[in-house]
Amino acid sequence: MDGVDAAVLETNGVRVETCGPTAFVPFDQGFRDAFRSLERPDPDNAEHYAHLVGELTAVHADAVDAVLMESGLERHQVDVIGFHGQTVYHAPADGVTIQLGDSQDLANRYRIPVVGDFRTNDVSAGGEGAPLAPLYHRAMAQNLGKPLAVLNIGGVANVTWLGRNEDDIIAFDTGPGNAMMDDWVRQTTGAAFDDSGRLSGASHVDQQALSALLAHPYFDDAPPKSLDRRGFDMSPVLALSVETGAATLCAFSVEAVIRAQQHMPERPERWLICGGGRQNQTLMQGLRDALGVPVDAVEAVGWDGDFMEAQAFGYLAVRSLDGLPLSLPSTTGVSTPMTGGRIFYPR
């Protein structure tokens, strides 16, 4: 919930030809707080949060403007916009996933087709609706050694395991990424996050609290599986100091990744890390110490770790236009390869 990423790429929905300029537009604090307080929107009472949807869409438009300016492209040179929107509730077991944003408004603003609502089709067909970036990871990692794991550490962390053959792909949410650490730091210090992992690196891990966190049954569940940002209870760390709580929650995110390996057919020979979590040096060192194989930020192979998700939804938008699958039984648990997304044409 920090803001909106935008990226330009050229792709046919199978290969990625080029990754172009990127842009980021932050949410202001008041808007961020308003969205955090929106537990589960009720579509029958949408007027109560319509102003948030309008503001959210306007921030996305600012991001589109910024990336067009950065790239030097005119609107008519863009074939499609992939618009994920903001996830505010994700409960696939109940057949529900909610991403807010007005795709039609965005299409009207730019006179460009917009693909939105990426997750609903998968969830309606019995899938987890997440993660959706794995097919993009596979396309980007085509020439890299396998088995390989691509770990995206956002609010929730998700992993894509890529085996030696083209069809060897598994994906699932490993557990907490940055969300619990960010919430803890905000509640205890007022800061937005643990900058570079300084707080979590300044204390020891409380093993009793860590064990309580790891007792959650999610870790033994077989994938595919996915999580809501609020999927875990913060109570085991509430009595700890700021630094010890941060260290314990950081160790929780690391241990969740370690436990994810039990669900992989073969241990990865290398891990590539994208998302904001790769900036947390305590988290990265914890992964290196525990995994015992090379663990690198994706920049080591020439990718942009801040904009992988934005690029992925551009890639998926093209796949949606062509009716290609966005998810597979091994990535979301859907019964058959599933296309998705809704196309909104300018009016």
Which domains, ranges and CATH numbers included, belong to the chain?
3-124 (3.30.420.40), 134-301 (3.30.420.40)
Predicted confidence at residue 38, as pLDDT, reads 77
**328: buried, middle or exposed (CB in 10 Å: 19+, 13-18, 0-12)?**
buried
Q: How does pLDDT run across 162-189, given as a tens digit for each residue?
A: 999 989 999 999 999 999 999 999 999 9
Q: CA–CA separation, 344 vs 347, rounded Å?
A: 9
Predicted confidence at residue 39, as pLDDT, reads 66
Q: Which residues of 144-182 are buried (b: 16+ CB within 10 A; e: fewer)?
A: eebbbbbbbbbbbbbbbbbbeeeeebbbbbbbbbbbbbb
Cis before 176? omega within 30: no
In the beta sheet, which residues pair with residue 344?
A: 114
Predicted confidence at residue 98, as pLDDT, reads 87
- State both tokens at 205: 């891990």
Alpha helices (runs of H) in 238-292, residue ranges in sequence order: 242-260, 281-291
Q: What is the DSSP letter of 194?
A: -
Q: How far apart are the first and last CA of the chain?
A: 30
Predicted confidence at residue 75, as pLDDT, reads 95
Contact 23, 6 (CB under 8 A): yes
Q: What is the DSSP letter of 222?
A: P
Predicted confidence at residue 9, as pLDDT, reads 97
Torsions phi, psi for 156 (to 5 deg): -105, 145
Alpha helices (runs of H) in 149-241, residue ranges in sequence order: 179-189, 207-214
Q: What is the CA radius of gyration of the chain?
A: 19
> CA 177 from chain center: how many Å?
10
Three-state SS annotation for 87-117: EEEEEHHHCEEEEECCHHHHHHHHCCCEEEC
Q: Which residues of 265-293 are buried (b: 16+ CB within 10 A; e: fewer)?
A: eeebebbbbbbbbbbbebbbebbeeebee
Q: CA–CA separation, 74 vs 76, rounded Å?
A: 6
Q: Which residues of the chain have pLDDT under 70?
A: 39
In this structure, the dihedral spanned by the alpha carbons of residues 131, 34, 32 and 340, taken in order and rounded to 10 degrees, is 20
Q: How does pLDDT run across 287-327, given as a tens digit for each residue?
A: 999 999 999 999 999 999 999 999 999 999 999 999 999 99
Cis before 147? omega within 30: yes
Counting every residue written for the chain, the total comes to 347
| Closest by CA position to 313, among listed 341, 334, 332, 343 | 341
Measured on CA atoms in the order 227, 230, 232, 237, is the torsion positive or negative?
positive
Instruction: Say if strands 81-82 and 114-116 run parallel, antiparallel, or are unpaired.
Output: parallel
- At residue 325, the 3 state secondary structure works out as coil
**262: buried, middle or exposed (CB in 10 Å: 19+, 13-18, 0-12)?**
exposed
Predicted confidence at residue 256, as pLDDT, reads 98
